[in-house]
Structure 1
Amino acid sequence: MLRKAMMIRLNPEKMEEYKRLHADAWPSILRQITACNIRNYSIFLREPENLLVGMFEYHGADYDADMQAMADDPETQRWWALTDPCQSPLESVAEGEWWAPMEEVFHHD
């Protein structure tokens, strides 16, 4: 199992829309997340900085292939077309990144 965390900025004018979308996430999106071996997925919001932190556990055998399967899914693409305009990548992301990956520096079960 891998634990992953990532961060992105939430555009303040889109905050209510983003919260509304996630309060009623589409069943097809939830099924795709599960099919791609993601478990215990949470997104946290830090105000007033408007930072989103996503955290999840990956329980599969090929993370890159599962993430590509998610990216190729038409329903996921429709979902991202709604959620991506709500977000702004951090200035420090590498080319091609949307959410900035975070390093785990401590964990305790």
Structure 2
Amino acid sequence: MRRFGKLIRLRPEHRAEYLRLHAEVWPEVLAMISACHLRNYSIFLEGDLLFSYAEYVGEDYAADMAKMAADPVTRRWWQLTDPCQEQTGGAVPGEWWTPMREVFHHD
């Protein structure tokens, strides 16, 4: 199992819309998250920063993320959520959310 923490900025003018969308996530989007072997997926909000946490339990992360990115329903979902966000200064080419480095973990 691999853990991922990622960060992105929430555009203040889209805060209410983003929160509304995530209060009613489409069942097909949730099913795709599970089908791509992500577990314990959470998004936290502090001020204007969104922090996501997920555990990956699959064998091929790149293939699973490509599968998710190719899903038509997920792509429509992202068309609604992406305008609510803006990348942070630490964004990495090819990644929408900024990957974070894990510095501590205890089971």
One-letter identity of the residue aligned with 1:66:
D
Match of 1:40 in 2: 40
Following TM superposition, the consecutive aligned residue runs of length 4 or more in structure 1 with deviations greater than 6 angstroms are: none
Residue 97 of structure 1, CA deviation: 1.8
CA RMSD, Structure 1 to Structure 2 (Å): 0.6
Partner of 2:77: 79
> Counterparts of 1:43 and 1:85 in 2: how far apart (Å)?
17
Question: 1:52 aligns to what SS in structure 2?
Answer: strand
Give yes or no for contact 2:92–2:99 (8 Å, CA) kept in 1: no
Letter in 1 for 2:63: A
Structure 2: gaps of 5 or more residues: none
How many correspondences in the alignment?
107
Percent of aligned positions that are identical: 58
| Structure-1 separation of matches of 2:90 and 2:29 | 28
> Normalized against structure 1, the TM-score is what?
0.96
* Superposed CA offset, 1:59-104 (max 9, x none): 0000000000000000000000000000000122122221000011
Shift of 1:39: 0.3
Is structure 2 residue 7 aligned with structure 1 residue 7? yes
Measured after TM superposition, the shift of residue 52 of structure 1 is 0.2
Once the two structures are TM-superposed, the CA of residue 20 in structure 1 deviates from its matched residue by: 0.4
